[in-house]
């Protein structure tokens, strides 16, 4: 059904060389108290006149990037009988979530030059300008950040997971984990030929806390005193309730 709708839309648009016509199964993700992740279906079609003569096969890349923030990465070492932080590097900007899905292996869909230009791969999506003078292997800190977030399923590389039919219709699914950060998630769809980008389509997914989760989050950040008093009241009430139940059972 999704494919038919996208194809009909594509056929009604004015013709250019090659363009993306895309859609999402949902453009809003609600984080609730029992939120355990969400799968987003990304689908679309390619609107074209005719492929350039002698051109290579069409490829598709889909990326989803969460809000980018500075991250401090620390290295620990065993000294004086304990683990202590010995070095730290601040990564200027790193996406809180980043997923890449491609229609073929990464090296076959985009060149290094185009990757650097459009910041497609995970290392390119992370901005790390410099490091303290005493740190010699600053690149290792960025690699550690990628490794940690990959293990937490926050950074994903899924080659050959975009289904591309007759270089016209495509679709893929992005698994968004439960530990998402609130904000706008930028979705980019790249069409490439011979490793070069021929078109880019961009849209947004809004990820927000709702219900009790949102109320507690806003209370903690906007009224910390009230949040602290509420937490204290809940703790005292829970302690008193447990004590009363214990006394009732013993009686």
Q: Are 176 and 37 in contact (CB under 8 A)?
A: yes
Report the CATH number that the domain containing residue 158 is assigned in CATH.
2.60.40.3880
Same domain, yes or no: 104 and 63: yes
* CA distance from start to end of the chain: 65
pTM of the model: 0.75
For residue 207, what are the CA distances in angstroms to 43, 77, 87, 116, 184? 19, 37, 34, 28, 6
Tell me the C-alpha distance between 190 and 193, whole Å. Answer: 10
Going residue by residue through the chain (251 aa), what tens digit of pLDDT does each one get?
544 444 444 444 444 478 888 888 888 887 776 777 889 999 999 887 765 555 788 999 999 999 999 988 887 777 777 777 667 788 889 999 999 999 999 999 999 999 999 999 999 999 876 655 566 777 888 899 999 999 999 999 999 999 999 888 999 999 988 888 889 999 999 999 999 999 999 999 998 876 555 555 555 566 677 657 667 767 777 777 677 677 767 66
Q: How many domains does the chain contain in total?
A: 2
- In angstroms, the CA 230 to CA 92 distance is 36
State the residue range of the domain holding 215: 210-251
In this structure, the answer to whether residues 35 and 119 fall within a common structural domain is: yes
- Within this chain, do residues 148 and 244 fall inside the same structural domain, yes or no? no
Coil, helix or strand at residue 6: helix
């Amino acid at each position: 059904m999704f494919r038919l709708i996208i194809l009909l839309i594509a056929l009604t648009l004015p013709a250019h060389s090659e363009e993306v016509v895309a859609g999402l199964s949902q453009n809003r993700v609600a984080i609730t108290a029992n939120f355990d992740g969400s799968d987003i279906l990304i689908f679309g079609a390619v609107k074209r006149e005719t492929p350039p003569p002698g051109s290579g096969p069409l490829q598709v890349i889909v990326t989803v990037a969460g809000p980018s923030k500075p991250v401090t990465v620390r290295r620990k070492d065993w000294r004086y009988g304990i683990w202590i932080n010995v070095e730290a590097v601040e990564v200027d900007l790193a996406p809180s979530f980043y997923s890449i899905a491609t229609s073929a292996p990464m090296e076959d869909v985009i060149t290094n030059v185009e990757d650097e230009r459009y910041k497609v791969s995970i290392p390119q999506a992370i901005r790390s300008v410099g490091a303290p003078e005493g740190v010699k292997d600053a690149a290792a800190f960025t690699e550690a950040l990628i490794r940690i977030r990959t293990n937490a399923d926050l950074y994903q590389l899924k080659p050959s997971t975009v289904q591309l039919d007759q270089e016209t219709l495509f679709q893929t699914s992005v698994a968004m984990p439960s530990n998402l950060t609130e904000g706008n998630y930028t979705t980019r769809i790249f069409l490439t030929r011979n490793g070069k980008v021929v078109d880019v389509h961009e849209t947004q997914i809004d990820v927000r806390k709702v219900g009790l989760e949102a109320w507690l989050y806003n209370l903690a950040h906007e009224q910390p005193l009230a949040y602290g008093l509420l937490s204290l009241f809940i703790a005292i009430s829970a302690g008193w309730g447990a004590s009363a139940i214990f006394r009732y059972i013993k009686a």
